[in-house]
């Protein structure tokens, strides 16, 4: 079977641009963009399946993610994005079943995670950028297709007496709609639970007025009035958007990236892979130059601006390692550079957060850090002299499962160095919330307001190991005599544990505090889905996923677990 | 600042302490606590100095360093047996791979636990024996007690060295804890039950050094096989000292038996008690007690922890290299002691899980040699009486037999009968009172208590009447 993401086979590249899209057509007409799905059947990421009926695989979603990103940075004028299908009578059939049936478990999980992140990104664009997504469901939307529509602010369904929206995963495939469907149906659209139950157990779905009555869609529109109604609705939604008028977007040139064997490199981010120890050593460099003097220069620098460039690189690295390096189970995070400069960039963005571009950059950093939060790898931060864990980059250490800060300096290497320090900044106190809606500091000190206040009061001062440990901002602060041993032993110990148990442990500890739709999707829905995926009733030889399309009925083990 | 050469002087070692800043610092902060512990929990009898052997090197010559030293100034050293650069792992799933010079992180927690348990016993026995000096039967015995004590102290150093050198911050914390737990303490007792019993008299001391220290010997023997080379080398060196402790126990019981036999013959009696000695029956009861309590130290008959330790290469079997098998044991069965239909019997289990039983059996066989030796003393005296090891299920608190009452002959007893007859097998208050009544100190050189025969030879070629200890 095609295992595109296992080492040794072709690596998945997340870098793409509209001129190379195989599956989407992006057109921009003033404030209204249209993102039309037009999946090339032949262009699946792996051989062995055909992407019929606008079904998708990771490759299709990589393009969607790219389009959503570019709309935010390159098209500030766009206020409404019409998500629709370029096909007649079919909107989207969801994740390709042939792909799901042949993918390894880890591929399925990683794929679902990424699609979830993209759908959350669509909601983030609507909520935070005034770039409102309108689902123009011009044919049947089933499974992941309907889940895509659910990520949009407004859902229109064509009323042609045959098109429906459907979540047929359970009856047809014996699995769940795993990209947020079950969560958004109830928590976002407030479909009554018994109706939601009926809906998700009927393969053919629901269309017409009943779909509206059950709140599955916002409106149904006859075919003959479809195009004009979509236009009208888009125009209305555009009116309500707070997107600025007359703004000019920036370009997002393709990321310069080198990847050879065990080394990945970008301008600010690099990673070395130690396969024997199963770990990636990731270093994020601080800014190479001082922050721009003002907004005009910030815009002029555009994608070259350190925060944006670094975030794009980190985003790509996370996606690359997650997809292409499943056996690299531990990520060691370091930073290098000037903390003052990092704080300078942070300050520039924070002061200009009313500006659309500054805001987009902050939101993008927020989304990228969230990506780190849901990454099923042990994340460990090492804070050494010469590092710049300050403000936005301190979030990396706060996202880590454990952080080690050197107390003082490495006397044998550079006794005159400035001791390792971290600095709390404004970026740690609000603009970069986690999926649970809290800051990483707030999550860290959940239920301990005193500790949170103490950390806040320490903002702006470089904190040495002892201070940071006392404030609970790092896990431990060994001195240079202990450092090598402590770190080595911790890493080796980590590598010895069950990767599954670690993933579960980390996922539980990372999201203390309140539940949100996002945490439910990544925590509850995903965990259930992944359990179901591995059960014989889904993926066993007689399971529903494997039997689908063979004409044979699945045979279930009837025991409830 | 401490000048570098001082290190070898202060802390004799062969671990390059002078070049290891981290270790220096760790030990420097630990040492005052150790000395405080020694002052408050070590030997209670005030002495000016003691004729002690100090290990200053691992070579033969390094061993023969005898001098009168104030115990407080004893130079507790850190010695590992010489390193074999080609040493390979002898068992478990890493068999054949080079021995580890560093702790693999994956086994850190297990190794640390093993060290802590072993390390906890070393100072424990010093604490258990701290009041014995006041009733020493001779200066020779007093000196042996102190020699054992300082060496147990050194064994603590050895374990602390490993914790400091290889287990980072957590190792240092554990090293602190080793001084904070105390034998018999209500709040923070020693980890293993047998090490919380006071050693109230010299008969107990000899029995303890024979039976309980011998458990230590076997535990060290399994750790000597460890894939973690520094642990292996540490234990190898400790075993040499442990042999001396065994000697103190073996010859100590020898001399008790010898004196008792002598008086039994002289007075033509079975009960040497009224003649000022320990009656043979009481010797047997003490033996029963110390033997059965020591059997408990080997843990349950089956243990998955120990199986894991073996597979991981952390802890081997006694004399691993002399075992004629594959040293992996993944498919082998073995019989272990168990209750079968409520009676002591045996069941078959996977060999890996039965390693505690294997070690206990090695130990039992070794214990029997001592009993044979004491019986030879009885036979040579012309007496028909014999000592013997009680049944393995007798008086057990740990393992399969903890649930039943069994006589020294292996007879199953109900609770009432056990209560009625136990006084015939284990020391009673009357026995203990009698033994205690014999414990009158003899601190004059060349003299010895009436219940004990003098040793055949002194220490390091010195005569028995040498002034081994200068009291204050
Ligand atoms: Fe010892
Ligand atoms: Fe000993």
- Please tell me the CATH code under which domain B17-82+108-222+229-297+367-471 is placed: 1.10.620.20
Tokens of B156: 């603590």
Q: A interface mutation test: which of B100, B168, B175, B308 has the most A CBs within 10 A? A: B168
For residue A8, pLDDT over 70 is answered with no
A478, A485, A493 member nearest B106 (Cβ): A493
Residue of A nearest to B170 (CA): A486
Is the separation of the CB atoms in B225 and B314 below 8 Å? no
DSSP letters for A224-251: GGHHHHHHHHHHHHHHH--PPSS-----
Neighbour tally for B5: CB within 10 Å = 9
Question: Which positions 423-462 of A are in contact with B (Cβ < 8 Å)?
Answer: none
Nearest to B360 by CA among B325, B403, B395, B392: B392
Q: For chain B, which residues make up each domain, given as ranges?
A: 17-82+108-222+229-297+367-471
CA torsion, ordered B400, B403, B407, B408, to nearest 10 deg: 30
CA atoms within 13 A on the CB side of B203: 30
Alpha-carbon span A230 to A236, nearest angstrom = 10
Q: How many helices (H) and strands (E) does chain A have?
A: 22, 21
Q: For chain A, which residues make up each domain, given as ranges?
A: 18-240, 259-509
Residues 6+ apart with CB under 8 A from B395: B288, B289, B292, B293, B406, B422, B425, B426
Tokens of B298: 């080997």
Q: What distance in angstroms lies between residue B245's CA and the mean position of ligand 2's atoms?
A: 5
Q: Are strands A219-222 and A263-265 parallel, antiparallel or unpaired?
A: unpaired
pLDDT digits (tens, 9 = 90+) for A60-84: 999 999 999 999 999 999 999 999 9
- A-chain CB neighbours of B312 within 8 Å are none
Residues lining ion ligand 2 (Cβ < 5 A) are B 213, 242, 245
What pLDDT was estimated at residue B36? Answer: 94
What pLDDT was estimated at residue B273? Answer: 93
* Same topology between domain A18-240 and domain A259-509: yes
Give the CA angle between residues A333, A337, A341 to the nearest 5°: 120
- Name the average pLDDT for chain B: 93
Q: A interface mutation test: which of B20, B103, B169, B170 has the most A CBs within 10 A? A: B169
What pLDDT was estimated at residue A6? Answer: 41
Q: B interface mutation test: which of A407, A465, A485, A498 has the most B CBs within 10 A? A: A485
Alpha-carbon span A98 to A2, nearest angstrom = 11
Is the separation of the CB atoms in B106 and A495 below 8 Å? yes
What pLDDT was estimated at residue B7? Answer: 67
B25, B106, B107 member nearest A481 (Cβ): B25
Mean pLDDT of A390-417: 95
For residue A236, pLDDT over 90 is answered with yes
Give the CA angle between residues A545, A551, A557 to the nearest 5°: 45
CATH topology of domain A259-509: 2-enoyl-CoA Hydratase; Chain A, domain 1 (3.90.226)
Alpha-carbon span A286 to A335, nearest angstrom = 7
Is the separation of the CB atoms in B75 and B11 below 8 Å? yes
Question: CB A482 to CB B168 under 8 A?
Answer: yes
A476, A478, A490 member nearest B105 (Cβ): A490
What pTM was computed for the model?
0.84
Alpha-carbon span B265 to A280, nearest angstrom = 80
The structure tokens 């004059």 sit at B444
The kind and range of the H/E element at B221 are helix B213-224
Question: CB A494 to CB B105 under 8 A?
Answer: yes
Is the separation of the CB atoms in A405 and A477 below 8 Å? yes
The structure tokens 């090490």 sit at B195
Q: What distance in angstroms lies between residue B72's CA and the mean position of ligand 1's atoms?
A: 19
Residue of A nearest to B110 (CA): A493
Tokens of A34: 């249209």
B101 touches chain A (CB under 8 A): no
For chain A, how many residues are written?
561
Per-residue confidence at B198, pLDDT binned at 50, 70, 90?
A: confident
For A91, the 3-state DSSP assignment is: strand
Q: Taking each helix axis from N to C terminus, what angle separates A480-496 and B21-41, rounded to the nearest 10 degrees?
A: 90
Alpha-carbon span A160 to A143, nearest angstrom = 19
The structure tokens 């090339």 sit at A40
Residues 6+ apart with CB under 8 A from A57: A44, A45, A46, A49, A51, A95, A96, A99, A111
What pLDDT was estimated at residue A72? Answer: 96
Nearest to B289 by CA among B192, B215, B207, B386: B207
What pLDDT was estimated at residue B1? Answer: 38
Question: Which positions 168-187 of B are in contact with A (Cβ < 8 Å)?
Answer: 168-169
Alpha-carbon span A391 to A455, nearest angstrom = 12
Alpha-carbon span B202 to B442, nearest angstrom = 12
For residue A215, pLDDT over 70 is answered with yes
- A-chain CB neighbours of B101 within 8 Å are none
Question: CB B168 to CB A486 under 8 A?
Answer: yes
Neighbour tally for B257: CB within 10 Å = 25
Give the strands of the sheet with A154-159, arranged side by side. A24-29, A32-37, A80-85, A132-137, A154-159, A219-222
Question: CB A493 to CB B25 under 8 A?
Answer: no
Question: CB A492 to CB B104 under 8 A?
Answer: yes
Q: Residues A457, A460, A461, A466: is their CA dihedral positive or negative? A: positive
Is the separation of the CB atoms in A140 and A166 below 8 Å? yes
Q: Has domain A18-240 been given CATH number 3.90.226.10?
A: yes
DSSP letters for A446-495: TT-HHHHHHHHHTTTS-EEHHHHHHTTSSSB--BHHHHHHHHHHHHHHHH
- B-chain CB neighbours of A476 within 8 Å are 169
Neighbour tally for B333: CB within 10 Å = 11
User: Which bound ligand lies closest to the C-alpha atom of B118?
Assistant: 1
CA torsion, ordered B111, B117, B121, B124, to nearest 10 deg: 130
Which own/partner contact pairs does B275-278 have at CB distance under 8 Å and 24+ positions apart? B276/B438, B276/B450, B276/B451, B277/B438, B277/B450, B277/B451, B278/B203, B278/B434, B278/B435, B278/B438, B278/B451
For residue B59, pLDDT over 80 is answered with no
Alpha-carbon span B46 to B44, nearest angstrom = 6
For A154, the 3-state DSSP assignment is: strand
Q: How many helices (H) and strands (E) does chain B have?
A: 14, 7
Tokens of B399: 């393992």
Q: What distance in angstroms lies between residue B462's CA and the mean position of ligand 2's atoms?
A: 23
CA atoms within 13 A on the CB side of B462: 19
Question: CB B106 to CB A481 under 8 A?
Answer: no
For residue A451, pLDDT over 50 is answered with yes
pLDDT digits (tens, 9 = 90+) for B138-148: 999 999 999 99
Alpha-carbon span B155 to A456, nearest angstrom = 49
DSSP state of B66: E
pLDDT digits (tens, 9 = 90+) for B342-392: 899 999 999 999 999 999 999 999 999 999 999 999 999 999 999 999 999
What pLDDT was estimated at residue A9? Answer: 58
pLDDT digits (tens, 9 = 90+) for A411-447: 888 999 999 999 999 999 999 999 999 999 999 999 9
Question: Which positions 17-36 of B are in contact with A (Cβ < 8 Å)?
Answer: 21-22, 25
For A391, the 3-state DSSP assignment is: helix
CA torsion, ordered B275, B280, B284, B287, to nearest 10 deg: 60
Lowest average pLDDT, out of A279-283, B12-16, B35-39, B319-323, goes to: B12-16
Alpha-carbon span A353 to A421, nearest angstrom = 27
pLDDT digits (tens, 9 = 90+) for B249-273: 999 999 999 999 999 999 999 999 9
pLDDT digits (tens, 9 = 90+) for B92-125: 999 999 999 999 988 999 999 999 999 999 999 9
Is the separation of the CB atoms in B101 and B232 below 8 Å? no
Tokens of A315: 């985003």
Nearest to B207 by CA among B102, B275, B284, B306: B284
Per-residue confidence at B17, pLDDT binned at 50, 70, 90?
A: confident
pLDDT digits (tens, 9 = 90+) for A101-139: 888 888 988 999 999 999 999 999 999 999 999 999 999
A481, A485, A492 member nearest B106 (Cβ): A492
Per-residue confidence at A541, pLDDT binned at 50, 70, 90?
A: confident
Q: What distance in angstroms lies between residue B155's CA and the mean position of ligand 1's atoms?
A: 5
Q: Which letter, b or e, does each residue of A421-454 get, where b requires 16 or more Cβ atoms within 10 Å of its Cβ?
A: bbbbbbbbbebbbbbbebbbbbbbbeeeeebbee
Alpha-carbon span B385 to B263, nearest angstrom = 14
Give the strands of the sheet with A421-423, arranged side by side. A389-390, A421-423, A463-464
pLDDT digits (tens, 9 = 90+) for A160-201: 989 999 999 999 889 999 899 999 999 999 999 999 999 999
Alpha-carbon span A161 to A156, nearest angstrom = 14
């Amino acid at each position: 079977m095609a295992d595109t993401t296992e080492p040794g086979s072709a690596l998945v590249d997340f870098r793409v641009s509209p001129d190379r899209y195989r599956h989407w057509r992006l057109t921009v007409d003033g404030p209204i963009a249209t993102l039309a799905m037009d999946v090339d059947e032949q262009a699946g990421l792996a051989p062995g399946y055909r992407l019929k009926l606008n079904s998708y695989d990771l490759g299709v979603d990589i393009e969607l993610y790219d389009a959503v990103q570019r709309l935010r940075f390159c098209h500030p004028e766009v206020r409404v994005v019409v998500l629709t299908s370029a096909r007649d009578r079919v909107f989207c059939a969801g994740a390709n079943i042939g792909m799901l049936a042949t993918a390894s478990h880890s591929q399925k999980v990683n794929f679902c995670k990424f699609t979830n992140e993209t759908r959350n990104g669509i909601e983030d664009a609507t909520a935070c950028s005034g770039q409102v997504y309108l689902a123009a469901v011009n044919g049947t939307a089933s499974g992941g297709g309907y889940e895509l529509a659910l990520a949009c602010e407004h859902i229109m369904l064509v009323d042609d007496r045959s098109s429906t929206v459907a979540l047929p995963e359970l009856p047809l495939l014996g699995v769940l709609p795993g990209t947020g469907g079950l969560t958004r149906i109830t928590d976002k659209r407030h479909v009554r639970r018994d109706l939601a139950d009926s809906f998700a157990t009927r393969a053919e779905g629901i269309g017409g007025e009943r779909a509206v009555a059950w709140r599955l869609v916002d409106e149904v529109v006859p075919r003959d009035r479809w195009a004009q109604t979509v236009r009208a609705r888009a125009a209305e939604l555009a009116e309500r958007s707070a997107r600025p008028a007359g703004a000019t977007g920036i370009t997002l040139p393709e990321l310069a990236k080198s990847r050879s064997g065990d080394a990945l490199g970008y301008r600010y981010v690099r990673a070395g892979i130690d396969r024997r120890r199963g770990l990636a050593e990731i270093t994020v460099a601080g800014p190479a130059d001082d922050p721009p003097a003002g907004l005009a220069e910030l815009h002029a620098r555009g994608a070259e601006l350190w925060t944006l460039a670094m975030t794009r690189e980190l985003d790509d690295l996370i996606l690359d390692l997650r997809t292409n390096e499943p056996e690299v189970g531990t990520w060691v995070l370091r930073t290098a550079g000037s903390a003052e400069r990092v704080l300078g960039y942070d300050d520039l963005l924070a002061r200009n957060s009313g500006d659309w571009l500054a805001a987009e950059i902050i939101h993008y950093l927020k989304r990228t850090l969230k990506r780190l939060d849901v990454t099923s790898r042990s994340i460990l931060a090492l804070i050494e002299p010469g590092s710049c864990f300050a403000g936005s980059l301190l979030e990396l250490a706060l996202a880590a499962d454990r952080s080690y800060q050197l107390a003082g300096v490495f006397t044998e290497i550079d006794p005159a160095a400035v001791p390792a320090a971290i600095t709390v900044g404004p970026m740690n106190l609000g603009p970069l919330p986690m999926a649970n809606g809290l800051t990483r500091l707030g999550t860290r000190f959940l239920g301990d307001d005193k500790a949170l206040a103490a950390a806040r009061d320490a903002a702006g001062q470089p904190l040495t190991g002892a201070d940071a440990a006392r404030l609970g901002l790092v896990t431990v602060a060994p001195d240079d005599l202990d450092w090598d041993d402590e770190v080595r032993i911790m890493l080796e110990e980590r590598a010895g544990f069950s990767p599954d148990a670690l993933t579960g442990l980390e996922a539980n500890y990372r999201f203390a505090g309140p539940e949100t739709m996002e945490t439910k999707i990544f925590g509850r829905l995903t965990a259930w889905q992944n359990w179901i995926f591995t059960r014989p009733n889904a993926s066993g030889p007689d399971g529903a996923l494997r039997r689908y399309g063979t004409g044979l009925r699945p045979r279930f083990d009837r025991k409830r677990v | 600042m401490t000048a570098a050469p001082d290190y070898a002087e202060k802390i004799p070692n062969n671990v390059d302490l002078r070049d290891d800043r981290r270790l220096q610092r760790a030990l420097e902060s630990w040492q005052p606590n150790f000395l405080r512990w020694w002052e408050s929990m070590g030997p209670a009898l005030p002495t000016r100095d003691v004729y002690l052997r100090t290990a200053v090197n691992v070579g033969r010559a390094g061993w023969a360093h005898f001098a009168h030293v104030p115990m407080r100034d004893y130079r507790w050293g850190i010695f590992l047996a010489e390193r074999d650069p080609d040493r390979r792992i002898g068992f478990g799933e890493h068999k054949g791979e080079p021995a580890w010079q560093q702790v693999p992180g994956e086994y850190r927690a297990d190794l640390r636990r093993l060290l802590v348990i072993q390390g906890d016993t070393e100072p424990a026995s010093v604490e258990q024996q701290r009041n014995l000096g006041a009733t020493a039967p001779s200066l020779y015995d007093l000196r042996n007690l102190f020699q054992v004590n300082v060496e147990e102290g050194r064994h603590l150093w050895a374990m602390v060295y490993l914790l400091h050198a290889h287990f980072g911050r957590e190792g240092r914390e554990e090293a602190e804890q080793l001084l904070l737990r105390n034998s018999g303490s209500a709040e923070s007792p020693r980890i293993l039950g047998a090490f919380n019993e006071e050693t109230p008299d010299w008969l107990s001391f000899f029995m303890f050094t024979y039976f309980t220290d011998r458990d230590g010997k076997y535990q060290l023997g399994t750790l000597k096989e460890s894939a973690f080379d520094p642990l292996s080398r540490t234990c190898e060196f400790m075993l040499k000292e442990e042999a001396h402790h065994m000697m103190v126990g073996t010859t100590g019981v020898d001399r008790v038996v010898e004196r008792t036999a002598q008086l039994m013959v002289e007075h033509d009696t079975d009960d040497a008690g009224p003649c000022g000695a320990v009656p043979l029956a009481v010797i047997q009861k003490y033996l029963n007690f110390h033997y059965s309590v020591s059997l408990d130290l080997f843990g349950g008959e089956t243990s998955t922890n120990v199986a894991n330790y073996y597979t991981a290469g952390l802890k081997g079997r006694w004399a691993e290299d002399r075992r004629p098998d594959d040293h992996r044991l993944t498919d082998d069965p073995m019989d272990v002691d168990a209750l079968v239909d409520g009676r002591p019997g045996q069941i078959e289990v996977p060999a890996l899980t039965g390693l505690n039983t294997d070690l206990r059996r090695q130990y039992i066989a070794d214990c029997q040699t001592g009993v044979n030796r004491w019986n030879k003393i009885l036979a040579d005296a012309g007496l028909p009486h014999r000592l013997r090891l009680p049944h393995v299920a007798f008086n057990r608190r740990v393992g399969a037999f903890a649930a039943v009452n069994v006589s020294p002959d292996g007879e199953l007893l109900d609770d009432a009968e056990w209560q009625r007859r136990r006084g015939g097998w284990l020391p009673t208050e009357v026995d203990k009172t009698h033994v205690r009544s014999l414990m009158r100190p003899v601190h004059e050189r060349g003299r010895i208590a009436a219940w004990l025969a003098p040793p055949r030879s002194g220490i390091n070629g010195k005569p028995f009447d040498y002034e081994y200890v200068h009291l204050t």
